[in-house]
């Protein structure tokens, strides 16, 4: 930081030395140039707004790009006007470069989150209303900012997650696709015929309206446990109906097992007493 301070002192001295040679004859052309540049900036920003309207980009990204373009154009205007006034532009650029370095070192974390926000807005791994797991938390996307993303949790809490954390981690979007598959496992006694269990589970799936006929539901034996046979059921729903199908299938399985005389077993040990 001491080196940066010394650099600023040296270039500032050179800059103010050139300011002292400004003449009145250079002021009038500089004012005319300033007015022309401001009008051009206004026109260019309006054209940029029209491009954004047709592009379909996120509003936050458009706002950031517009602001960055505005300040870049104003900086170029400053350089042109300074050159017209006879100010040493090289020294002016050097001052801004050193100040920019000092600021960037001071706000590294904020710049990291800003870069992450731009990446998220460009790549679009999620949109408003999507349910995601990102940055170590789960929730519905409430707002996508340039520094933070707001997630609304299932218990109605808002979590502000830094965009740097999200862009650097794995993102799971549960509502990105139109369909989701419900995967559940059920156990049944070894005494129950496999075909009977298949029939009962298929009856449970078919009785729930949210499950789709295409793709076809999948029901098979998953494994043979110590006290039971484990069956897997995979059935598809529209994404918005996932949890409805999930919980209804759990409830329905018990009733169809009872209807068909199927015992839904649990881990146990049978002890046989032998009389001598």
pLDDT single digits (tens) 136-171: 899 999 988 878 889 999 899 999 998 888 888 899
Residues 252 and 221 in one domain: yes
What value does the CA radius of gyration of the chain take, rounded to a whole number of Å? 33
Token code pair at residue 49: 């707004």
Residue 77 included in any domain: yes
Residues 197 and 139 in one domain: no
Residues 162 and 187 in one domain: no
pLDDT in the model for residue 205: 96
226 vs 269: CA distance, rounded Å: 9
pLDDT in the model for residue 235: 96
pLDDT in the model for residue 11: 47
pLDDT in the model for residue 143: 87
pLDDT in the model for residue 144: 84
pLDDT single digits (tens) 170-222: 999 999 999 999 999 999 999 999 999 999 999 999 999 999 999 999 999 99
Residues 205 and 238 in one domain: yes
Residue 118 included in any domain: no
Number of separate domains in the chain: 3
* CATH number assigned to the domain comprising residue 10: 1.10.287.1260
Concatenated DSSP letters for 79-143?
HHHHHHTT--HHHHHHHHHHHHHHHHHHTHHHHHHHHHHHHHHHH-S--TT-EEEETTEEEEEEE
For the chain, what is the mean pLDDT? 82
Does a cis peptide bond (omega within 30 degrees of 0) precede residue 215? yes
Residue 264 included in any domain: no
- The domain containing residue 140 runs over which residues? 126-173
Residue 73 included in any domain: yes
254 within 8 A of 264, measured Cβ to Cβ: yes
Residues 25 and 90 in one domain: yes
Residue 272 included in any domain: no
103-110 mean pLDDT: 56
Residues 135 and 194 in one domain: no
């Amino acid at each position: 930081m001491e080196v940066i301070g010394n650099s600023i002192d040296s270039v500032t001295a050179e800059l103010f030395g050139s300011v002292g040679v400004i003449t009145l004859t250079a002021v009038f052309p500089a004012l005319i140039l300033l007015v022309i540049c401001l009008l051009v900036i206004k026109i260019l920003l309006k054209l940029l707004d029209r491009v954004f309207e047709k592009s379909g980009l996120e509003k936050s990204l458009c706002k950031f790009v517009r602001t960055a373009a505005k300040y870049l154009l104003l900086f170029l205007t400053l350089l042109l006007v300074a050159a017209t006034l006879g100010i040493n532009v090289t020294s002016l650029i050097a001052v801004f470069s050193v100040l920019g370095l000092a600021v960037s070192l001071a706000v590294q974390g904020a710049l990291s989150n800003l870069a992450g926000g731009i990446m998220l807005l460009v790549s679009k791994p999620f949109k408003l209303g999507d349910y995601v797991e990102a940055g170590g938390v789960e929730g519905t996307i409430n707002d996508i900012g340039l520094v933070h993303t707001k997630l609304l949790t299932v218990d109605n809490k808002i979590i502000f997650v830094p965009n740097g954390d999200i862009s650097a981690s794995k993102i799971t979007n549960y509502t990105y696709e139109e369909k989701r598959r419900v995967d559940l496992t059920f156990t049944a006694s070894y005494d129950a015929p496999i075909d009977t269990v298949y029939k009962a589970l298929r009856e449970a799936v078919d009785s729930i309206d949210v499950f789709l006929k295409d793709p076809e539901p999948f029901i098979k034996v998953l494994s043979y446990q110590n006290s039971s046979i484990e069956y897997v059921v995979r059935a598809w729903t529209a994404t918005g109906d996932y949890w409805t199908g999930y919980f209804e299938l759990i409830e329905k399985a018990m009733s169809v097992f009872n209807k068909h005389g199927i015992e839904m077993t649990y881990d146990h040990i049978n002890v046989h007493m032998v009389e001598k």
